Structures are given as C-alpha cells and as structure tokens.
Structure 1
Amino acid sequence: MTTVSLSPWKTREERERDREVKREAVLRAAARAFNEQGFHRTSLDEVAERLNVSKPTIYYYVKNKDEILFECVRIGLERLDAASRATHAGGGTGLDRLIALWTEYARIVTEDFGRCLILVGEDPLPAETRRELRALKGKIDHRFRGVVEDGIADGSIRPCDPKLVAFAGAGALSWIARWYDPKGPLDVDAVARQIIDVLVRGIASPRKDEGGTRPATRRRGRGG
C-alpha cells in the first residue's frame, strides 16, 4: 500500500531540485546579459530584473558576479568536454569523428553558456579560477588533437600538424557565436556543415588530375 504524504512542505530532494532549477535560471539570465552587453557592463540588478526577483534573491543562489561567470564558462566547457570524450571514444574514421565533434562544437557555442564561453570567457576572473578553467580547455584541446592524429593514422586525414588543425577548426567555429542569428535563413547545423566542408575540403577547385578542372592562371608577359 502506497503512503501519500499529507504535508504541504516539499521534501529535501524536491527543495534541492527546485533550487538547482532556479540557480540555472539565474546563470542563464546572466549569461544572456553578459553575451549582449559584456561582463563589466552587466550588474546583478539587471540580472534580477530579467528574472523579476529582488537582488538579494540572486545572492541565495550565487556569491557574486565572478562566481556567475565562472559557472557559465564552466558549463560551456563541460559540454564541450562531454562532446569531445564521447566523440573521441566513438566509432568511424578519425575524419568522421572530427566532423561529428566540430558539428557538436558549433551547436554548443551558439547556446547561452557556449556563447558566454566564447564572447566573455575566463579573462575577467581572478588568476586562480582562470587556471582551473584553462586546465579544462587544455584537456579538450588535446582530445581534438587526438581525433586528428587518429585520422592521420587511419589515412582519412592527410599528414598535417594536429595542433594547427585543432586550432583552425576551433577558431573558425568559435566565430559562429559572434555572428550567428537563429532567426536567419540557416539553422546552426546548416551553417556548421558549410564551414566544416571548407575546413575539410579547402576552397580551391580540384586539379585536373583529381577529376575536375582548375581555373587557368593567365601568364603575364613583361608588358603586363
């Protein structure tokens, strides 16, 4: 027989779950404000106003603005970390996994916390907390390089410098966070596909011996 509680008060688990939901709402509202107007120009009064609560209510969930930024960047990094771990351990060629990882990267950096990671980052924070976040960044970068190295080993990626390829991909895809408009004609996956295609194939037309034609280069004489 199931016992139904008649208490009007929430259980400890329900209170903790409710607090986490509200804390994430505080972080998300702050992340959006930071993304729109910058970290230093955003006050906790504005964050509270966005949530229709008082400023003291904000302090129930976070200590200060630095903690908010730390958590926003950490969440963005942890999502990238999870994606890189899952992709690194996944099946397919190195190139297949790199494309999957880059696609997920583009999705994450167009979300609230991912955009905060790119647009604001950890630079405004104290040195100790910057080091903690940068250590996580380093782990993610090494996984990106590892996928490239796997592709070189299995022949799906031509011999290259894995570090440069990882940096080039992250750099190109990070810029999506700065200009992407979800109300535009392309969704983030379509944007990611085109950018990744350029990264994978380059922009030059294939040479004749590769089954295509390449625009002829006009040879100039001395007269111009």
Structure 2
Amino acid sequence: MNGSPAVAARQTRRFGEKRTLILEAAARLFNQHGVRGTTLTDVGAEVGLLTNSISYYFRKKEDLAAACFLRTIETIIRTATVAADQEITARARLRRFLTLYVQLHAEIATGSRAELLSSNDLRALEEPHASAVFASYVDMFRSIRQLLLANDMPEVERTDLIARTHLIVSVVHSVQNWIRRYDLADYPRVAARLADILTDGMGEGARDFSPPELLSFQKHVSSEGDSSRERFLQAATFLINEHGYRGASVEKISARLSVTKGSFYHHNEDKDELVADCFERTFSLIHDAQSAAIDTVPDGWSRACGAVSALTRFQFSPRGPLLRIAALSAMPEPMRPKWVARMNQLMERFAGIVSDGIADGSMRPIDARIAGQLLYTTSNSAAELHRWISTEDADAAMKSYVRPLFTGLLHP
C-alpha cells in the first residue's frame, strides 16, 4: 500500500513544495548577504530544517545557488517569450516585457511572489555549475534579443543588435536595485516611462550623438599615474567584479599583481580598507565626469552624452574597470549603507543633468529620475560589454552601445 501511485504522488508533491520553499528562502538570503555570505545552516533556519535536511535537497550550497540562478533566469525567459508571442512590433514587445517584468517586482513587493535572485554573484560561480548557468543565461539573452527582431526594428549590424540587447539586459538587472523607491501604484507608470526612454531615446528631435571630450576629466584620469596604490585598486576592482567581495581574497589580489601577501599588507591595512578605497575611486571618477560635463558643456543633452561616454571609454581602457553596482550587495552590512547612499546621490546627479536638458530644450520631456538611473546603469554595465562584443575599438563600441540609449533602440 505504501508503494501505491497515490502515496508516491503525495511524496513527490511534498518534496517539490519543500524544495520550492528552500529556493525561495535561499534567494532572499543570497540577495541580503551574497552567496558566499550565506550558509546552508542559515537557509535551514529560514525554513525550519536542519542542515542535514537541506542537504537532502541540495548537497552543497553551490548546488542551491545554481538552482536559484536558473530559476530566476527561467522566469525572465518566460516573461520575454510571452511578450514576443503576444505582440508583433518591437516597440509593443519591449513595452509588454517591461510591464510584465515590473509587475513581477510588484508581486514580490506585496509578498505574493518569491524574490528573484539578483545577478550580483553570477560571475562567482565555479564549475560545474558555471557552465550550466551561463548556458541558460545565454538563452535568456537570446530571448530578450528576440524582442527586437520585428518589422519596426531598423536594420542594424549584428554587433549593434547584440550591444542593444546587452543594454536591455543590464536595465533588467538594475531594476531590482531601484524599483522599490517607487509607490506600488506607480509601478505601471514606471514600466511605461522606462519603455518610452529605451525605444525613443532622450533627445528632442533628431539630435546627433556627438559626445564632447571632457578634457578636465581626461587630465584627472591621466594624473592618477601608475602608482602602487592605483595598481592595487585596479586589481581589486577587477577581482571584486569577477568574484564578488568575498571571492576577491587577499591571495587572489596579490597573485594578480605578482606580489606576496606581505607586500599586500605593506600597502594596505586590510582588505576592507582596500575595498572601501575601490568604491571611493569608482564614485569619485563618476562624480568627476559629471562635474566636468556640468562645468564645461552648455546643454543637458551634451552633458549627459559626454559624461556617460567618458565613463564608458574609461571602462574600455587599461585603467578600467569601475566597480560594478553588483559589488554592493555582498559588502559587509555595516559598510553597505554609506556606499548605497553615495551611489544614489550620483544617480540623482545624472537625473539633474537630464532635468537641465529638458529645461534648455535639448532633451525631450521624459522622466528625469528614471533617465538618470539609465545613464548610471549604462556606464556601469559597460564593464561587461566585452563579453558580448569587441571593445578594442572604443569608438565603434560606443556607437553600438551608448548611442542607442540616447537616440533610442528603435532608431538607426
């Protein structure tokens, strides 16, 4: 009797329900503390299970993290597929996709849906999980690219299409970082305004994308030189972007610079001090690019183009990259509020530049706050662009990636 189909079905259902509860709790904890900052014991405590019981469903924490990533990626793929199937034009598809995706976050905010796992620790995955998750991530990328493959999409080079898709994917990842600043009742308007900017750009009329050179910013970057401190900051920034805060160990930073741990501690008090300086370096560079644009460029459109282009070009240069937004989530919690507040200030500063453009007539009436977040996201996500297209020719990469943000994804 115990081996009857009915009993087996109930056991399978209970297993599936418990597995889902574990995935939901893990995603919530991973978002709060990062994958490396969460243990199976932590997850077990969330769902009332001992660590050994969690291991019955997921042998290792890495198995659990990979399952959470795959679950989130599959959710985004389904959302993009629904949008592509329901709409004919790229404009309608993109708007439907963003509406559905923002609606997911509304359900998360009300507690009717479990959290999606942030992509922050995605690059920290190791084999064999990395291959499976990245293969699924590529499928997600293609499903979002499919949104653009419609009759109203201008004919563009394959490289341009890939760069535009990366821009959309970057926006999708960034929404999780800022959507809760808005009232739930405004989520549909946020999605509509986001789609409006992405499809039709920011300029008033057919404005040309000719970003001005910010000479004072270039001079500042050059003045940093190639000091030991700068090399430590570059190495730590790169490794934090690749492996997260906890994955960027003293050993890895030292090995990248071919120095001993003793040399590391000769130049740095500890890793936390170095990471704090990495954030300070990144945020100072963003602030300096914004200031150079505000102080030397006459209109808001050109200021925005100049600042984002200067930061993107820096990302492509040997002195790059900037620290990714994703690094914030894995920071020790006592350190996090200061840097989140600083990042938000810089986003608001971009919003102010957009407001200047609307006031002087160089930018069309758009939501300045959302546009400011897009300007920050675009310059920040440029660090990942080399994974999809070549960035050796900075001018070509800028035309493929940055220009569509300003002129619109659905414009040549």
Answer yes or no: same fold by TM over 0.5: yes
Structure 1 residue 32 corresponds to structure 2 residue 238: yes
2:354 and 2:368 in contact (8 A); partners too:
yes
Report Cα offsets for 1:154-179 as digits up to 9, x if no partner. 11111111011111232234322113
**How does 1:55-204 map onto structure 2 within 5 Å?**
55-110=261-316, 115-118=321-324, 120-180=326-386, 184=390, 186-204=392-410
1:62 and 1:68 in contact (8 A); partners too:
yes
Report Cα offsets for 1:111-169 as digits up to 9, x if no partner. 57763511652322233432222232233222211111111111111111101111123
Provide the C-alpha distance between the structure 2 equivalents of 1:183 and 1:171, rounded to a whole number of angstroms: 18
Provide the C-alpha distance between the structure 1 equivalents of 2:326 and 2:365, rounded to a whole number of angstroms: 34
2:290 and 2:350 in contact (8 A); partners too:
yes
Percent of aligned pairs with the same amino acid: 26
Instruction: Identify unmatched segments of 5+ residues in structure 2.
Output: 1-225
Provide the C-alpha distance between the structure 1 equivalents of 2:343 and 2:351, rounded to a whole number of angstroms: 12
1:141 and 1:166 in contact (8 A); partners too:
yes
Q: Which amino acid aligns with 1:61?
A: H
Provide the C-alpha distance between the structure 2 equivalents of 1:205 and 1:54, rounded to a whole number of angstroms: 52
How far is the alpha carbon of 1:74 from its aligned partner? 1.5
Which residue of structure 1 aligns with residue 76 of structure 2? none
Provide the C-alpha distance between the structure 2 equivalents of 1:205 and 1:22, rounded to a whole number of angstroms: 45
Q: Which amino acid aligns with 2:227?
A: V
Which residue of structure 2 aligns with residue 222 of structure 1? none
TM-score, reference length from structure 1: 0.70
Which residue of structure 1 aligns with residue 4 of structure 2? none
Could you tell me which of 246, 253, 270 is aligned with 1:47?
253
TM-score, reference length from structure 2: 0.41
Instruction: Identify unmatched segments of 5+ residues in structure 1.
Output: 1-19, 207-224
Report Cα offsets for 1:85-116 as digits up to 9, x if no partner. 11122232211111111101212344577635
What's the secondary structure of 1:123's corresponding residue? helix
**Count of paired positions:** 187
Taking a change above 3 Å as real, the CA distance of residues 205 and 193 of structure 1, as seen in their structure-2 partners, is: closer
Structure 1 residue 22 corresponds to structure 2 residue 238: no
Between structures 1 and 2, the one with greater helix share: 2
Greater alpha carbon shift after TM alignment, 139-148 vs 50-59: 50-59
2:350 and 2:375 in contact (8 A); partners too:
no
Greater alpha carbon shift after TM alignment, 183-192 vs 37-46: 183-192
Taking a change above 3 Å as real, the CA distance of residues 160 and 32 of structure 1, as seen in their structure-2 partners, is: closer
